[in-house]
Structure 1
Amino acid sequence: MSHGKIREDKTCLNCGHQVEERFCPHCGQENIESRHPFYYLFTHFFEDFTHYDGQFWGTMKNLLFKPGRLTKIYLEGKRAQFVPPVKLYIFISFVTFLFISFQVANMDFGKQGAGKEKITKKELQEKVIGDESVQKLLKESPEIAKADSLTGGALKKALDTANASANDKKNDIDVENILQSKSITKSIGLQSMEDFDRREEKNGHKYETFRPFIAKIFEMEEKGLSPREITNLFIKSSIHNLPKALFLYLPLFAFLLWIFHSKRKWWYFDHGVFTLHYFSFLLLLTLLLFVAQKLLSYFEGSGFAIAMNGLFITAATIYAGCYFFIAHYRTYRTHPALTIIVGAVLFAINTILFTLLLMGLGIISFLLMH
């Protein structure tokens, strides 16, 4: 219910019936002034969702700390005291992915640690000398300069850096530009799509299904993208597809619940309500986890932040798993042993299927990327 001013005129603007108090007894519309300040357009939704009677906050508390209670009460027909399942899922999904989208935009999933990638001289020398292509060049040509002409100067630069003076105070060197000269396709021995097609002819088209994906990698490498940047794009496309994946997976999750439970006692609708509440919980937990990581990012590099981040992730993962079993038991009232068995099977199946769905959507988005 909003906090709008009640109209002096008691005639409902919607249906014309007389309104004795705040709401029309005929159509249910609130009899408040129809003209509002501009900010009302933005605050009305949240006022309506979090209205003063505590429906929203009571729903949040039960959703987080009382597994299965919302589902049980809703299926019993007591539906006025809590936010409806669909409305709850849409709201939490919107807030969660709005927050995550801002965080993911600034993330670099290819970096190992903060700052540019570093490596010691000894490690670089072992990496360069141990590389098969470098060994081949050294064997074929006694002159480093001649061999270097085949690598565009990368070999000479790497060797010069690796053999720098031992008195140099900077024992760590920046090799990001050197490592970026490598590509994903060349690391698997491919020079072009024609090369891939020739190999497929010889191998009986074993990896033909990967052809669009490899073609896309070639396309992105031609644009100058490094392996790290390509990896970033793929991971970010998968994360941005998470809302779609969850929405598409909702009916399948409910369908699997329907398969494993009595068809006479439980309707597909009942499993849908359980699914909406459980997915809302997962989204809310994810949101809280991202908020915690954002706060810890201000202490980046400290042992406390690293320890707390690991603790939060571990605790959230364990709680999400336990939550499912507790909610399942309280909703369906099956024997504890049966709850554990059925829950474990459902958990394993859903984890595999959802991972495949998310990867599939990520690949499709990656292939359609311009």
Structure 2
Amino acid sequence: MKKRQKLDRCLNCGRSLPSYENFCPDCGQENKDQKVPVGVFLEELITSLFSFDGKFFQTLGTFLLKPGALTLAFNSGQRKKYTHPVRLYLIFSLFYFFVIGFIVPNDIVDRLLSARELSKDSGNVQIDIQEKIPESVQKELKQIEEAAAAGVQANRPVASPESSDSAMQRLSWKEIRFLSIDPEVSEEVFSATLEKSSYAFDLGLTPEKRRAFIANSNLFVSQSVKNLPLMMLVLLPVFAFLIHVLYFKKDQYYIENLILGFHLHAFAYALYGLVILLNLSFGLQNNWLAEIAFILVTTYAYFAILRIFKQHWFRTLVKFWILGLGYLLVLLAGMGLELYFSLLLL
């Protein structure tokens, strides 16, 4: 990058500066021209957030091998010796969610609900629905359409209801999805068909939202994965609050427990992300690496809490179990809300 021009005064406080001054003696701002192109600005922003300087590698050794040491150092006032907890969290959370994007297929909903994978052209709305739906169901759909056009209740009984209902219940997820993306199938027809199929669901959603979910299941998964980092960042203060409640008699501020939360989550992201990366690189199919990672993350968190709060090991273990159970419930609730809001945004 081209060297930035020094100025004769500080842009922050206005103090006059000689040419040899790299920083303002009054406010500490670096003596350089702050008017830069967008590219330079973004480069400096990324560098400041994710720079891997000597401090980062010094932090890495303590971070990985001494649970709780970074939290104690930061809370005791050592703010320049190690990488800031927030920056550490951002680095490893981005790494983790980046590799997560490779292992979560966009069509995971289709794979879970369908007996066979969707064909490559499953997203094409020009598919001939008549070739995909059983004849008995086609007759049922036609009668529902005629009833809807005549203003009659769309899901009224029709001739031979047992056979047509049975055929509708046998509709696969693939066939239901074909109907959802076909512009010639009306909302009334699709809703009635979905209600009689084995994939009927409500969740308080309107018929339009249910159809949008089925038609855009790929988009739903992609959107949900993108929202995960934000969800975890929102839940992190809840994790710190649980620690604060469990150790309320300790003379500690809430923010100190939040720093511990940043460090513990960063370690989990680093290790789980590394395991996922190894599985992707070497095509490993077993879960033994993930199980080892879970044990290491759990052990790391326990010893970090033990080092910071200095209580008896058994008392710490009991509180650790309570913390784990409480946070698991919070994670499940947060995941459910995140999926629900992602569904509403379709």
TM-score (norm 2): 0.66
2:268 aligned partner: 282
1:200 aligned partner: none
Deviations along 1:175-198, one digit per CA (max 9) or x if unpaired, are: xx9762257xxxxxxx9767999x
2:296 aligned partner: 319
- Judged with a 3 Å threshold, the aligned counterparts in structure 2 of structure 1 residues 71 and 352 are, in CA distance, closer, same or farther, namely same
Letter in 1 for 2:205: P
* Cα RMSD, aligned residues only: 4.0
- 1:235 Cα deviation after fit: 4.4
From 272, 297, 303, the equivalent of 2:258 is: 272
Deviations along 1:116-163, one digit per CA (max 9) or x if unpaired, are: 659xxxxxxxxxxxxxxxxxxxxxxxxxxxxx741559xxxxxxxxxx
SS of 2:268's equivalent? helix
SS of 1:18's equivalent? coil
2:308 aligned partner: 331
The answer (yes or no) to whether the contact 2:107–2:221 under 8 Å persists in 1 is: no
SS of 2:107's equivalent? coil
TM-score (norm 1): 0.62
Letter in 2 for 1:335: H
From 138, 163, 175, the equivalent of 1:181 is: 175
SS of 1:67's equivalent? coil
Is residue 306 of structure 1 aligned with residue 305 of structure 2?
no
- Aligned partners of 1:37 and 1:368: how far apart in 2? 36
- Aligned partners of 2:245 and 2:226: how far apart in 1? 30
2:72 aligned partner: 72
Deviations along 1:259-292, one digit per CA (max 9) or x if unpaired, are: 1113451221211111122222223334333433
Identical-residue share of aligned pairs (%): 24
Deviations along 1:72-121, one digit per CA (max 9) or x if unpaired, are: 111111111112223333444345435544x3675432437xx9659xxx
- 1:238 Cα deviation after fit: 3.4
2:122 aligned partner: none
Aligned residues: 282
Deviations along 1:229-267, one digit per CA (max 9) or x if unpaired, are: 74x555444332212221221221111111111345122
- Aligned partners of 1:35 and 1:219: how far apart in 2? 47
Is residue 347 of structure 1 aligned with residue 324 of structure 2?
yes
Deviations along 1:191-248, one digit per CA (max 9) or x if unpaired, are: 9767999xxxxxxxxxx98332776334545xxx4xxx74x55544433221222122
- Judged with a 3 Å threshold, the aligned counterparts in structure 2 of structure 1 residues 60 and 39 are, in CA distance, closer, same or farther, namely farther
1:111 aligned partner: 111
Is residue 359 of structure 1 aligned with residue 307 of structure 2?
no
Is residue 249 of structure 1 aligned with residue 235 of structure 2?
yes
Is residue 84 of structure 1 aligned with residue 70 of structure 2?
no
Give 5+ residue unaligned stretches, structure 1. Answer: 119-147, 154-176, 184-190, 198-207, 300-304
The answer (yes or no) to whether the contact 1:238–1:358 under 8 Å persists in 2 is: no
- Aligned partners of 1:258 and 1:105: how far apart in 2? 34
SS of 2:285's equivalent? helix
The answer (yes or no) to whether the contact 2:213–2:220 under 8 Å persists in 1 is: no
SS of 1:79's equivalent? coil
SS of 1:150's equivalent? helix
Where does 1:210-221 land on structure 2 (aligned, <5 Å)? Answer: 210-212=203-205, 216-221=209-214
- Aligned partners of 1:9 and 1:237: how far apart in 2? 46
SS of 1:30's equivalent? coil
